[in-house]
Amino acid sequence: MEEASVYIHSMIKRSTFKSGYLPYLLILPQILVTLTFFYWPALQGLSQSFFLSDPFGRSSKFVWFYNYIELFTDPLYLKSIVTTITFSIAVATVSITLGLFIATMANRALRATALVRTLLIWPYAVAPAISGILWLFLLHPSYGIVALTINNWFGTEWNPVLYGKDAMIMITMASSWKQISYNFVFFMAGLQAIPRSLIEAAAIDGASPFKRFWAITFPLLTPTFFFLSVMNIIYSFFETFGVIHTVTQGGPGGSTNILVYKVYQDGFVGLNLGSSAAQSVVLMSLIILITFLQFRYVEKKVQYTG
Amino acid sequence: MKLKHLVVIAVGICLALPAAVCAEPVTINWWHAMRSARGKVVDTMIKSFNDSQSEYVVVGTNKGNYDEVMNAGVAAFRAKKQPHILQVFEVGTQTMMQSGAIYPVHELMLKAGYDIDWSNYLQAVLSYYMDADGNLMSMPFNSSTPIMYYNVSMFEKAGIEPLSKTEAITWDKLGEITKKLVDAGIAPAGMVTAWQSWTQIENYSAIHNTPFASKANGYEGLDTELMINNPLVISHIERLKTWTEDKRFMYGGQKYQGPKAEFIAQNAAVYIDSVSGIAKLKKAVKDFKWDAAPLPVEASMKKPQNSIIGGASLWILNGHSEKEYKGVAAFLKFLSSNEMQSYWHKETGYFPITMNAYNDLKAKGYFKENPLQAVGIDQLNRAVPTKISRGLRLGYFVQIRNIINEELELVWNGKKTPKEALDNAVKRSNVQLRTFEKTYK
C-alpha cells in the first residue's frame, strides 16, 4: 500500500509557473470574493459585537464585552445552545440513517430505478420554509390531518403548540425530511463506486448480506459518511431557520429556539444589533469548533482509499 | 405642423408663468407593509391623492412585512436613501422616537401651515404615538384593538343570552358561560385567545388602569421597569390556568392562526382577537352564527378604561427638503380626510382616526348596518385615556413580547406557576430595558 502510493505520487507531473506573479493574479478574484463576502462581514460582525448601537446608526457606544456578558449570564441563552446541539444531532442522525437506508435499498436492482431515484431526490428541491408548512399541515393540533387522527384514534395528547418535546419532534422531522434526499444522493454515489466484484467475492465466501454491508460497504462509505456528518450539522445549525420560522417561531416556551433563530429574532426583528452580532460570533465560533473536532477526531477513522 | 405649434405655445406658457406650474412634481416615497387586499386599498388612496393635485406624486412601495419594512428603512437611512414616510408597527415606536432619525408629525404639520385640531382625533389611537407632553410623533395609520368573538349558535343551544355590544361582561360571567358550554358538551373548549401578550396582559392592564411598566408605561423615561407581576395580572393568569384544567380555556398558539382555526372549527366558543378578525371570520365561517362583544372586565372595575391599540403608524424620516415635507404634510392631511378615513375603515376594518370621520359614518347609518364594527371603536372611546391606558412605550418591545409569550407558554404547559412565570418575565424584560437604556444614554 505505502509503496504503491509513493509510486503514484512520483508519477504525477508538476507544472510550475515561470512568472512569480501569475499564480497570485489567477487566484486574486477568488480571494477578493472571499474577502468581500466572507471576511469583511465577519469582521464587521465582530466589531459590532463590542458596541451598543442605535439601528439607524446615529449613536454607537463601545461597551467592551457587555454584549457577551449579557449573553452568558442569561440562562436561556445557554439553554438555547443545548437546544441547538440536541437538535442538530437529532437531525443529522435521523437524516443520515434514513438516507443510508434508502440508498442501500435503492441501490439494489429494481425496475424503474431511474424513476425511483429521481423521485427520492425531489424533496431536496423543496425550500425549508415550504417543508415546514407542509409538516405543519400534517401535525398542527388544530388543523393537522395526522395530528387530529392520532389524537382521535389513540387518545394521545400530541400538541406541539403546547409541549416543547412535541415541537422538537416536529421540527426534527420537517428538517430531516428534505435532508434525507441530499444524503441519499451522496450515499447512492458512494455505493455505486464500490466495485461489485468485492461484494460478489464476499458473497461467494458465504458472507451474509448484513455481514457484507458491515465488512465491505460501510467502511468504503466512511468518506461519504464523514462529509455528510459535517454538512448535516452545518445544515441543521443554519438552514433549518426556515422550518423554525414557519413552524414554531422558537416556541413553545423557547423549546425550539435555536441559536440562528435567536440571532434573527434579536437582530432583524428586535433591532438589538450588538447582541445579535455577539450571538453571531458565538455561533460562528461554535460551528468552527465542531467542524474542527470532526476533522480532528472523526476523520482519523475515515478510509479514503480502497 | 400643428404639434410644433403646440410645443412652442407650451414652452411659451412655461416661460411666462411661475416655475411651480410646469415644474416636475415633487416625489414623495412611502414604504409600507400593506399587501394583497390592503395593498390595493393603499394604492387607491395614493392614486386619489395624486389625481387630486399636480404638485406632488406619492409613490407607495411595499417592502414586505413589518420587520422587513423597518429593516429596509434602517438600511436606507444608513445609506442616506431613506423614504419620506415609513410605516412602522406599534412595538417599534420607542425605537423610532429615540432614533433621532425622525421629523415629529406635530412639527411637520405646524411648519407646513396646517393648524390641526388634534382633539378631533380618536384619543386612544393618538395617545399611543404621543410623547410624554402630548405631542404627536407619528401619524396613526392602521389601528385595531382586541374584542371578543363568540359562537351565537352555541350560546343559543345552551340558553345563554346574547352579549351586549357596548357593556362588557365580567370575567366571572365569562367563567360561568364557558363552564355551562363545556359541561353541557356543547363546546369542546371555552375560550381561545390570539396574541396573548397583547390581549391578556397589555390590554388587560390598560382596561383595568394598572401599569404595565413604571414611568407611566415608559412614556416618562427610559429607566422604566416592567410591572406585570402585580396581584391583578397574576390572578388573571392563575384564573386562565385553572380554566385550562376544565377546558374553559385552551391555548392555541402565540399568533392568531391557531386560535382562529379552533373558533372556526367550533372547538372553542369564545375567541379574543383584533377587530381585523371580523373580515376573516366573515369570509371563513359558514356553518354557525357569531357575534362580537367588548373584552371582559373584572367585577371590581366599575368604569373600565379604554383598550389599547395595535397596528402601525407613519413616521416621517429626516433628511429631505422643506418642499418635500410640504408634500408629505399635504398627503397626511389628505389621508385623514373623512372620505379617505371611511374608505379605509370600510375596506380594511381598521379604525377611522378622526372623530369627524367616525361621526360621519355614524350619521350615514354605517354602524347600524355594521354593528360589529362599532364594538372596538366604542371600547376605545368609552373613557378618556389615562397615563396608564394610553399605550406602552418600551424599548426592545419585540423581545419583551417574546419573553412574555415564552413565560406564558410555560404556565400553560405546567412547567411554571403564574407567579414564577410573570416574575421571570419581569426580570428578563428588565435586562432588555436596561440594555436599551444604555444604548441611548
Q: Show residues of chain A in contact with B428, CB under 8 Å.
A: 74, 76
Question: Hey, which bits of chain A come out as E strands?
Answer: 51-53, 60-62
Contact across the interface for A70 and B74, Cβ inside 8 Å: no
Put simply, whether B431 touches A (Cβ < 8 Å) is yes
Of the candidates B126, B197, B96, the residue with the CA atom closest to the CA atom of residue B352: B126
Interface test with B, best of A50, A52, A56, A263 (most B CBs within 10 A): A56
Put simply, whether B252 touches A (Cβ < 8 Å) is yes
DSSP string, B100-168: S-B--HHHHHHHTT----GGGB-HHHHGGGB-TTS-B-SEEEEEE-EEEEEEHHHHHHTTPPPPPSSSP
State yes or no: pLDDT of B15 exceeds 80: no
* Smallest CA–CA distance from A270 into chain B, residue: B398
pLDDT in tens, B350-362: 999 999 999 999 9
Contact across the interface for B78 and A270, Cβ inside 8 Å: no
Report pLDDT for A31: 95
Domains of chain B with CATH codes: 13-144+309-381 (3.40.190.10), 146-307+395-440 (3.40.190.10)
Q: Which of B70, B101, B399 sits opposite A266 (nearest CB)?
A: B399
**Residue range A102-112: mean pLDDT, rounded:** 79
Contact across the interface for B440 and A59, Cβ inside 8 Å: yes
Distance of alpha carbon B300 from alpha carbon B321, whole angstroms: 54
Interface test with A, best of B193, B240, B402, B432 (most A CBs within 10 A): B402
**Residue range A252-272: mean pLDDT, rounded:** 93
State yes or no: pLDDT of B11 exceeds 60: no
User: Please, is A27 exposed, middle or buried when counting C-beta atoms within 10 Å of its C-beta (0-12, 13-18, 19+)?
Assistant: exposed
Contact across the interface for A61 and B438, Cβ inside 8 Å: yes
Residue B62: pLDDT band with limits 50, 70, 90: very high
State yes or no: pLDDT of B435 exceeds 80: yes
Put simply, whether A53 touches B (Cβ < 8 Å) is yes
Report pLDDT for A306: 47
pLDDT in tens, A52-97: 999 998 888 999 999 999 999 998 899 999 999 999 999 999 999 9
Sorted by where each begins, the domain ranges of chain A are 65-301
The answer to whether B228 and B426 have CB atoms below 8 angstroms apart is yes
Interface test with B, best of A133, A271, A279 (most B CBs within 10 A): A271
Contact across the interface for A270 and B101, Cβ inside 8 Å: no
Contact across the interface for A272 and B435, Cβ inside 8 Å: yes
pLDDT in tens, B300-315: 999 999 999 999 999 9
Distance of alpha carbon A245 from alpha carbon A240, whole angstroms: 9
The correct answer on CATH 1.10.3720.10 for the domain covering A65-301 is yes
Contact across the interface for A59 and B251, Cβ inside 8 Å: no
pLDDT in tens, B361-376: 999 999 999 999 999 9
Residue B345: pLDDT band with limits 50, 70, 90: very high
pLDDT in tens, A178-237: 899 999 999 999 998 888 898 889 989 988 888 988 888 888 999 899 999 999 999 999
**Residue range B169-183: mean pLDDT, rounded:** 97
Residue B402: pLDDT band with limits 50, 70, 90: very high
Residue A6: pLDDT band with limits 50, 70, 90: very low
Report pLDDT for B8: 56
Contact across the interface for B101 and A58, Cβ inside 8 Å: yes
Put simply, whether B78 touches A (Cβ < 8 Å) is yes
Residue A14: pLDDT band with limits 50, 70, 90: low
